[in-house]
Structure 1
């Protein structure tokens, strides 16, 4: 009886493609079904037990653990360390999502020349929700009372001022710029102009203007499966 060395390339591919062997679902849907099931289970687990999330175990950005504790963590208990599958490559595409000032920070991640740090982050997509992308107007508001930004600092940290051509950067991913109908005219302007500037620089950009929501419930409603922004994000992830 021959070993794997005697298999044709096609047979060997089949042998090492688990999605082709299930009798429950076809190979085109089973992986997504697995990801969906695991994501739902994760949420249920986080809602039912104590957790310590994103605990670093090393210096790398990905070197973090999510710890799920038993009902009485004061007693001695066994530890199970679960390492997910994916052939060391699947189930680790990174997606960014930021709201308001968080959208600014996510946009700055996209603006960073990561090659200067010797890394190429595997960012598949970014969702920027009701963000601020040009900080200079903030210099003239109450917000700067605490920040005390100078004009130079504001310009240096404005994503709008440091958009690189998509072909020249390490991170060139799909970007969704979302804004609320009831956001202020300035927030709406910034979202539109930033999205258009990214698109002009060759980035893959969608601009989503959401009716019937304000600056706060535009993000609060992400817990609703039928919410359009939830659906758009899920579709972005499923396409990767």
Structure 2
């Protein structure tokens, strides 16, 4: 991490600040057109206007490639796979192509209009699209890795943890990468975005929790958090650790030193390999 970016992240602190973090990382990102990469944007995977995905593949592919399906964050009520000409989250797709994969970047329906379990249904629909269509983009659906960040990590976790959403046994994925996720709504939580998606009735939050399913799933999992995540994310990491250790499956939780909630993903496809080094090792071990 360049010293000036490290200093900028420390100044921003333990908050979620996409605009200020983006200002630090945008100069490091590639600009369109992306040489050597074919992009297919806004492919419909379902009937809603937000059922859209982008596909990134090499212009001159050789053989079939693993697939990285990314689910963005946005606090359950906002966010997109890309906004305007922003380099985020094209950066994740470009990294995937550069490392021998096909990148698929999806967006999904948002709360409060579309509460639980709309996003899990949308992930399932996007995975069905991958299994039915990614071969023509030189992807191997049997080697699909599902990655989520922030609210996207929450959605991925709850998809993995609840087999009723699975498109195939094992979820139809080779593994899941969960970056600064939410796995359960703590009792008494009063948080407008969280309640917008999971509801205000705390009596239903236990059944929604991803923790029991994560503790029992056979899907390979990678967990990562940022050192400068807001306080609620270390709490989620502790809930995860306690639940999985109680099931005698203590997880390895990676803490990305110096990274913030947004820098951990905005830094992808730069010289900062804090997260992508872990991702590559994980995917190579499960494909």
Length, aligned pairs only: 171
**Where does 1:47-196 land on structure 2 (aligned, <5 Å)?**
51-52=40-41, 54-56=43-45, 60-65=128-133, 82=136, 84=138, 92-114=142-164, 119-120=168-169, 121-136=171-186, 139-143=189-193, 146-147=196-197, 148-160=199-211, 162-163=212-213, 166=216, 169=217, 172-196=218-242
Q: Which runs of 5+ in 1 are unaligned?
A: 1-41, 67-80
Q: Which runs of 5+ in 2 are unaligned?
A: 1-33, 47-124
CA RMSD in angstroms comes to: 3.4
By percentage of residues, which structure has more strand?
2
- Corresponding residue for residue 37 of structure 2: 45
Q: Does 1:237 align with 2:283?
A: yes
Q: TM-score, normalised by structure 1?
A: 0.58
Query: Are residues 112 and 192 of structure 1, via their aligned partners in 2, closer, same or farther at CA, if it must alter by over 3 Å?
Result: same
Is contact 1:98-1:106 (8 Å) kept? yes
Is contact 2:142-2:174 (8 Å) kept? no
- Greater length-normalized contact order (CA 8 Å, ≥ 6 residues apart): 2
Q: TM-score, normalised by structure 2?
A: 0.49
Is contact 1:180-1:218 (8 Å) kept? yes
